[in-house]
Amino acid sequence: MQKGEEPLFFLWTWTIVFLFCPFQVALLECKNSFLLPFWNAIFGLFSEREILIFSDSEGFFLIITILLVASMLSFFVFKKFIYRFQSRIFETLHYFLLACVFIIFVKYGLDKLMMLQFTAPESNLMFTEVGNLDKDILFWTTMGTSRLFNWLTGGIEVTATLFLLFKRTRRLGLIVLFLSTIYIVILNFSFNIGVKLFSLILLGTLLTLNWNTFTFLFRFLLGFGEEGDQAVEKKVYLPIFKVVLGASVIVLMVQMNSNSKIVNKLQGAYTSIQSDRLDYIFINQQNYWIEQAKTGERRSFEIIGQGKTEIKLRDDFGDMKIIQFHKNDKGRYRFQDVNGESFTFEKMDLSKANILQDKTHLIVR
């Protein structure tokens, strides 16, 4: 590969990956209704067992491997055509990847600002001993305890993506997002969070988009000369169009997030007032009813239906049960199942828990 080919080759590679990999990201997942059946059909030709496709799964890894090989082969097959229209293809791929990065970081930045990525700790997790939690759950739970952390990191990500809209600030925005992605990759591997492959792809994409900046810094800092020839971006004289387009994407993301934020009014933790068998009942954000017995044993049920006075539950074995509930004048809840067992619980105010308080102390001695 000759000097100067690297950026175009990698732009081609990451574009192929973003186009044909079924990422679960808002606005980028519209193609998944076609891609998922396509990849399932491909895997079905070589394996009789079902190969699951989700983040960091065997299927996801195979898809990325296939796409990386295919992008490499296709680049060399179409090399003459690519270099015949080098400037136009470079510009198209460059702006396509910029758009993908913009959408991804606007999504995750807004998720943090709206406390949707790292949500407040589940009520049942707040009553679970730390030693019994997996690392990824512990990390996710901890991050959701600080609004300040989410607002700062989300604000940085959204601001950096806005910098991408303009050539004068784009380089700074790409560097900030690259550093943020390094931090994300470290967290994903350190705490075994299930988006490792996706974060590595994002890191590779941002490394490519920052290629000219890093090349210049490398030459300048190590004394290898000044910045060499770079692909010149076409000047865009439509700043108002960029602002309107960027603002439209952000508004759309906010609307999508607001519509997806459905909160069960019964969600929370309940402590026993009158029950011979149970100590706590937890109703979490994933719509699960979790019973904690006085022995400490827990049993969970999925909430598959809910009315004004009853909840329909299903356990892991498919067995159903219906709980009727009533709230009295004292704010206490009386639950009764179909077997006639009844118990009275009081909803706990978890917002006052010490772990949810944003406190900063300066100790001066």
Q: What per-residue confidence (pLDDT) applies to 119?
A: 82
User: Is the predicted pLDDT of residue 245 greater than 50, yes or no?
Assistant: yes
pLDDT digits (tens, 9 = 90+) for 177-201: 999 999 999 999 999 888 899 999 9
Where residue 226 falls among pLDDT bands split at 50, 70, 90?
Answer: very low
> Mean of the pLDDT values across residues 74-78?
90
Task: Measure CA of the first residue to CA of the last residue in the chain; give whole Å.
Answer: 61
CB-based contacts of 10, cutoff 8 Å, min separation 6: 204, 207, 208, 211
Our CA dihedral for 272, 273, 277, 283, rounded to 10 degrees, sits at -30
Closest by CA to 306, choosing from 350, 258, 263, is 263
Q: How far is CA 269 from CA 25, 115, 130, 180, 309, in A?
A: 32, 20, 18, 35, 18
Where residue 223 falls among pLDDT bands split at 50, 70, 90?
Answer: low
For 214, the enclosing helix (H) or strand (E) is helix 211-222
Angle at 331 between CA 327 and CA 335, to 5 degrees: 40
> Mean of the pLDDT values across residues 284-295?
86
CB-based contacts of 274, cutoff 8 Å, min separation 6: 343, 344
User: Is the predicted pLDDT of residue 2 greater than 70, yes or no?
Assistant: no
Phi then psi dihedrals of residue 302, to 5 deg: -85, 135
Q: What per-residue confidence (pLDDT) applies to 229?
A: 45
Q: What per-residue confidence (pLDDT) applies to 83?
A: 82
Q: Could you tell me which residue, 227 or 118, shows the higher pLDDT?
A: 118
Instruction: Judge whether 345 and 273 are in contact, CB under 8 Å.
Output: yes
Where residue 237 falls among pLDDT bands split at 50, 70, 90?
Answer: very low
CB-based contacts of 327, cutoff 8 Å, min separation 6: 333, 334
Weakest mean pLDDT among 89-93, 149-153, 224-228: 224-228
| Average model confidence (pLDDT) across the chain | 83
Where residue 101 falls among pLDDT bands split at 50, 70, 90?
Answer: very high
Sequence ranges of the domains in the chain:
6-260, 268-352
User: Is the predicted pLDDT of residue 345 greater than 80, yes or no?
Assistant: yes
**Beta-bridge partner residues of 281:** 270, 291
Closest by CA to 336, choosing from 325, 320, 328, 345, is 325
Q: What per-residue confidence (pLDDT) applies to 63?
A: 93
Our CA dihedral for 97, 98, 103, 106, rounded to 10 degrees, sits at 140
User: Is the predicted pLDDT of residue 276 greater than 80, yes or no?
Assistant: no
Report d(CA 110, CA 53) in Å as an integer: 26
pLDDT digits (tens, 9 = 90+) for 9-67: 999 999 999 999 998 887 788 888 899 889 988 888 887 788 888 888 888 999 999 99
Q: What per-residue confidence (pLDDT) applies to 291?
A: 87
Report d(CA 109, CA 103) in Å as an integer: 10
Q: In terms of CATH, what superfamily is 268-352? A: Uncharacterised protein PF14869 family, DUF4488 (2.40.128.490)
